[in-house]
A and B are shown apart, each in its own frame.
Chain A
């Protein structure tokens, strides 16, 4: 097991900068997600850690050891590839046993090596030692594939292949587990159950895990901490709740959950609240503004919708007037699109049976608490 540290890593391909000054500090046993849109450099980061790419500059430490001079085959990073990259000519057992065979191969004399090559190359020759067999079967049981040991990987379902790939990486007891979009090839349902499986196994083994995804829900629900990347740079690192409640940029606010983003100008301060004015709204926020022109972030679920004639105390909460453009009933919540000035705000309200839904065209009052108005 080990921590992973990345210092000032940059990676260029020709004159294209794929990674720019990446700094990461991942603790031992942590489940760490790299989240970002397609092409932002997640895979490249992971490939640098695994040793398939050389960083152009900067350094990587695994378990406090600088790994620049360690080739990929000795880094002891278990990697689960997006395509699984299972060996098609080997069955499930042989796939999982591969790293153990290699380990033995490296520790044997030339004569024994021949025997190991024999069992790597053909099914008939070369007996597997009992301890190796036991270890493979244990890990197969762990991922509930003990009954499929003799199957060819092409005869497995997507989810099963996924678990073989996981077992194959885990059996070598890697210092770090690297997973590159491991769930993207699975259907919706399976993806949910595999999330749990992976998270449980990770917790169980306490293995440091770096998990790449472009699905924010996946990252937020599984990881201890998330690094959000964009265009080769890390934009913010934090726990899921930190990212959600304190996004450092509008990009993150939008990428991590849905947000209403309004342009505003800071007018001044009043009773400890910052006053922002924009097209069609005047809001007070408990955030201290660092500049004059700000982005105002409001999460849909932090807004309440009231009838236009209701009386609300302006001192405790913000009130904005608007017109309902559309209401969508989504089961437990009702989503409104409300026109405020030139903006269309998205508002989610919990729906309790019997409550009335505001119709389209209706004038309403929206309320947002001061501490729910974020200025960045």
Chain B
């Protein structure tokens, strides 16, 4: 596609640099984790290329390649039960979420239930809150001294209504904070499925519930399955809630991998767990991709037929009550965190014994550094991803580089904790010793969130027709000047929207932060996590509120930009 003749060769250099970036910081770490999972000890692949001594020792290690680790996972109790538990968790969460979402989605898509707007708006909350904060909120609510527990006991219940420190606790958090991922696709599926068939069924005298079970639901089934696969991947890869809630005796892959690396420096063990995680996550992601490909259930082609919304009083009221209950729990969870952040002490009674702003004072005096770190790290990741994503979209859109498109979407399937482990292993020795530096942290954030950015910039790049660029060149501009004065400004809305998204997700990011951040670069998420571990709940609460507010503000900005973009 050498359409623009004499394109500056600088572009080729940039392309090589981008490949080198992905190769060095994504493919190499994943490859070396794979190798370590066989050798069982750290293997310095990069060093082998630069230093003959390391090369020889690597060769030695290659001779010791064995399937021992893999045998362990299928025979030994520890790893195998971790895999089993993780799959069970993801499976349970998926089933429950789908069951929870079907009435909710039906209510939003097909009925005139009361409070529909409020319910839809409240569904945003779970998406804003990082899961380690939600998990912690559940401790405030359902823990031994939690207010829900107190109400439960006052009503005559024994012990705890729900023990947050258990598999059930993890499941509950994930259900209430991941359900929106399934909800919106399901709403779309219910909206799109062919209404005339339902009408036909009703004309034949079928009852409403009969129509739903045998006509409406089967029509929405593709949407249901695809959402289920998505939820499965999300739940399986989630690190925030298990790390806060999973008790010692509950083995989960993500927690186990984290403990192997941060507690025991067991490289082989961490590597094998990482490989298993990546394979499972990639497999389900692939299934989902395969399933949605060509189905296109969510997008409406042409004008959808205007549907009549159901007005049946009893049905809409029941649905509305149920939906309010579902969306109220995340809201209450966040309010609990907010309340704790201004409480002097809370636990003896239903409400705090007094109120104070001291916790905020404390974090703004002692933990300002964490806030700054978060912002600086997120800014760094943002700048890096803007640059990379812009060029990646240029190469993908203008030069049809399918390879780059594929590579840039790999991070979607690698769980954060797995990627973190891969990076630590690869860069903890010479020649490129980056573990424990802010640079590696920024690179990790960048790669993890790049797919969002690329999607955003690629959208705006596609919208710029080739001939607009050519017109600029025709009017005398060099390709570079045309890029700066025409392509750049036209891509700006896409870049801005993607930037906010990257910024938000980096601030929310738990797994990579916890694994990779050095003490002097500890971001807010790590500080909150450590506070929770140290049982400093009040500071954790105040910091969480600051984080959520920051995210909310940014989300607001993103929405405004998004509206402007659709001129």
Contacts and interface: CB of A to CB of B under 8 A. Distances in A.
A80 B467 CA distance: 10
A85 B465 contact: yes
A54 B5 contact: yes
Contacts of B470: 52, 72, 79, 81, 85
A53 interface: yes
Contacts of B472: 87, 98
Contacts of A102: 475-477, 481
Bin the interface of chain A by size: 20 to 34
Contacts of B2: 54
Given A74-B476, A89-B489, A105-B481, A81 B471 contact: yes
B468 interface: yes
A261 B189 CA distance: 59
B368 interface: no
Interface in B422-470: 465, 467-468, 470
A72 B471 contact: no
Contacts of B477: 73, 98, 102
Contacts of B399: none
A71 B486 CA distance: 19
B5 A51 contact: yes
Contacts of A53: 3, 5
A99 interface: yes
Contacts of A172: 475-476
Contacts of B465: 83, 85
Interface string A75-88: 01111010101111
B151 interface: no
Contacts, number: 82
B321 to A, nearest CB: 48
Given A103-B476, A117-B484, A172-B476, A71 B6 contact: yes
A98 B481 contact: no
A169 B490 CA distance: 21
A117 to B, nearest CB: 7
B475 to A, nearest CB: 4
Interface residues of B, number: 25
Nearest to B470: A52
Interface string A58-97: 0000000000000111101111010101111100000000
Given A53-B3, A102-B481, A72 B490 contact: no
Interface string B276-306: 0000000000000000000000000000000
B467 A72 contact: no
Interface in B482-518: 484-486, 488-490
A50 interface: yes
B81 interface: no
A312 interface: no
A89 B465 CA distance: 13
A320 interface: no
B490 A73 contact: no
Contacts of A52: 3-5, 470, 473-474
A83 B467 contact: yes
A156 interface: no
A302 B202 CA distance: 70
A15 to B, nearest CB: 17
A121 interface: yes
B201 interface: no
A106 B2 CA distance: 24
Interface string A112-128: 00000100110000000
A168 interface: yes
Interface SS majority for chain B: helix
A209 to B, nearest CB: 15
B481 to A, nearest CB: 7
Residue from the set A72, A76, A81 with the largest chain B CB neighbour count within 10 Å: A72
B478 interface: yes
Nearest to B475: A99
B468 A73 contact: no
B468 A87 contact: yes
A76 B477 CA distance: 11
Contact of B467 (A54, A85, A168, A169): A85
A50 B474 contact: yes
Given A53-B3, A79-B471, A85-B467, A106 B489 contact: no
B275 to A, nearest CB: 42
A71 B5 contact: yes
Given A53-B3, A54-B5, A98 B489 contact: no
Given A54-B5, A85-B465, A102-B481, A79 B474 contact: yes
B9 to A, nearest CB: 13
A217 to B, nearest CB: 26
Contacts of B488: 121
A105 B484 CA distance: 13
Contacts of B5: 51-54, 71-72
A73 B474 contact: yes
Contact of A121 (B471, B474, B485): B485
B429 to A, nearest CB: 44
A186 B489 CA distance: 29
Contact of B490 (A85, A89, A168): A89
A51 B467 CA distance: 13
Contacts of B486: 87
A105 B482 CA distance: 12
A219 to B, nearest CB: 23
A54 B2 CA distance: 9
Contacts of A169: 474-475
B479 to A, nearest CB: 8
B471 A87 contact: yes
A89 B565 CA distance: 12
A331 B423 CA distance: 83
Nearest to B463: A88
A182 to B, nearest CB: 13
Given A89-B490, A121-B485, A73 B471 contact: no
15 contacts: A50-B474, A51-B5, A52-B3, A73-B477, A73-B478, A73-B479, A78-B475, A81-B471, A85-B471, A98-B477, A103-B476, A105-B481, A106-B476, A168-B475, A172-B475
Interface of B: 2-6, 465, 467-468, 470-479, 481, 484-486, 488-490
Given A73-B475, A88-B468, A169-B475, 8 more contacts: A71-B5, A71-B478, A72-B5, A73-B477, A98-B472, A105-B481, A117-B484, A121-B485
10 A-B pairs with the lowest CB-CB distances in the bound complex, closest first: A99-B475, A85-B471, A71-B6, A85-B467, A102-B476, A120-B485, A79-B474, A73-B473, A85-B468, A72-B473
